[in-house]
Structure 1
Amino acid sequence: MGLSLTVLGCATPYPSTDNPCSGYLVEHHDTRLWMDAGTGTLGPLQRYTRLEDVDAIWISHLHADHSADLLTAYYALLFADVKRDPIPLFGPPGIADRLAGFLTNGPTRSPVEDAFEITELHDGHQTTIGTLLLTTRAVHHGIPAFGVRVEADDVSLTYSGDTAPCQSLVELARDTDVLLCEAESAEKTPDMVHHTPEDAGDTATSANAGRLIVTHVGRFLSPQEAVARASSRYQGHVDYAAPGTTFTPR
């Protein structure tokens, strides 16, 4: 199998009846990466792969709509029928203590490291997961937050995470085959920490991305509006990250 992206969910800031929060499965040959683990994404993940077969988890930032299902994954890994070594988990600084703070209910800290082999991200972090090369850049979201570029077989997919428009995302996505970019905001505000659809189009244009997929569309926008507005600023093909859809960069 070539590089592919399956949308587990993209709702914000809470799941709807047919759309979990942000989560994606990236696959290439036998490598499987769970990219963001927002509320409700562990369920649909299992339509495509077993938790035992996930090679790593990458988390863009610690807002619940991108990370809350790490808590349910913890219980699956330690107290249920899933048998495997700890899953490599890449996430923002402080992710281990954040998880332990939610999970601990008594004097003894919950053993999150028994479920996850944790690596803290930093700007410029790079790692290889199976056949995938991941490059992480810090982005602008008001808290520690990251975007990631995934590469395999000279094909690339870049994911914005949650961020205001920023040069580091443009640099990360330079000449990428697919840009998966959030488009949460219906309108610009002085304290922006998200893209509008127009911003997503501008970022794709500035990066010379081959294709744009808008995701994390806010509740005051329809997917159709988001695609149309992004298309007004980007001449390439624009899709919406509909739950259950699988995209192939080429």
Structure 2
Amino acid sequence: MDLSLTVLGCATPYPSTDNPCSGYLVSHDDTRVWMDAGTGTLGPLQRHTRLEDLDAIWISHLHADHSADLLTAYYALLFADVSRDPVPLYGPPGIADRLAGFLTNGPVRSPIEDAFEVIELRDGLQAAVGSMRMTTAAVEHAIPAFGVRIEAGGVSLTYSGDTAPCPRLTELANGTDLLLCESESTEKTPDMVHHTPEDAGDTAAAAQARRLVITHVGRFLAPQEAVTRASARFSGSVDYAEPGTTFRVG
């Protein structure tokens, strides 16, 4: 199987009736990684894979629209019909205590580690997950946040997470076959922590990416308008991360 990206949802900052928040399934051969677990993504994830078959979960940052469905995944993994070892969970520093803070309802801390094998992200972290190799880079957001490059089968996919344009993301995406880049901001501001569509095009061009997929488009911007604006800055293929779409990489 080729390296592929399936869009579970990309809404921000809350789900719409037909679009969950940020979440993606990355697949190659028999390896499957749930990349961001935003509100509402656990449901569509199960159209494509069982929780028993996930090789890892990777979380870019701890805003709810990228991580909230970890809470319901916890209950599925420990108290329902799922039987498996703890899922490797790659996430920002403090993710285990953050989850425990939400899930603990008494004097005894909820057994987060019984559901998730937590690996804290750091800039430059490299990890092999099945047939995939993942490289993480710290990016520039309001809280600790990371982008990731996933390589398998001779091709690569790079995901921005949430971030303002920054050198580390451009370096991470250098020569990538597909750049999945957020585009929440409608216009530049002095304190921006997101890309505009033009920024996404600029990042893709600077990284010499082969293809750009726009995601996490803000609610005051139509997806096709975001694609058009990004295309003015990037000469390669530009698409929108329509929920339910699977992109073949390479």
Name the TM-score, length of structure 1 as normaliser. 1.00
* 1:170-219 Cα shifts (integer Å, max 9, x gaps): 00000000000000000111101000000000000000000000000000
Amino acid aligned to 1:242: E
* 1:88-138 Cα shifts (integer Å, max 9, x gaps): 000000000000000001111100000000000000000000000000000
In 1, Cα distance between equivalents of 2:22 and 2:137? 19
Which residue number corresponds to residue 21 of structure 1?
21
Which residue number corresponds to residue 30 of structure 1?
30
Which residue number corresponds to residue 231 of structure 2?
231
In 1, Cα distance between equivalents of 2:206 and 2:180? 14
Amino acid aligned to 2:81: D
In 2, Cα distance between equivalents of 1:81 and 1:164? 40
* 1:1-250 alignment runs, 5 A limit: 1-250=1-250
In 1, Cα distance between equivalents of 2:129 and 2:33? 8
State the secondary structure of the residue aligned to 2:249. Answer: coil
Give how far 1:154 is off. 1.3
State the secondary structure of the residue aligned to 2:6. Answer: strand
Amino acid aligned to 1:188: K
In 1, Cα distance between equivalents of 2:13 and 2:105? 26
In 2, Cα distance between equivalents of 1:114 and 1:249? 34
In 2, Cα distance between equivalents of 1:207 and 1:172? 8
In 2, Cα distance between equivalents of 1:20 and 1:92? 22
State the secondary structure of the residue aligned to 2:47. Answer: helix
Root mean square deviation of aligned Cα:
0.4
Amino acid aligned to 1:237: S
In 2, Cα distance between equivalents of 1:218 and 1:129? 32
Amino acid aligned to 1:32: R
Amino acid aligned to 2:76: A
State the secondary structure of the residue aligned to 2:27. Answer: strand
Amino acid aligned to 1:166: C
Give how far 1:142 is off. 1.8
Q: Which runs of 5+ in 2 are unaligned?
A: none
In 1, Cα distance between equivalents of 2:111 and 2:71? 12
Runs of 4+ with >6 A deviation: none
* 1:39-77 Cα shifts (integer Å, max 9, x gaps): 000000000000100000000000000000000000000
State the secondary structure of the residue aligned to 2:117. Answer: strand
Name the TM-score, length of structure 2 as normaliser. 1.00
State the secondary structure of the residue aligned to 1:60. Answer: coil
Amino acid aligned to 1:165: P
**Number of equivalent positions:** 250
Aligned identity (percent) is: 79
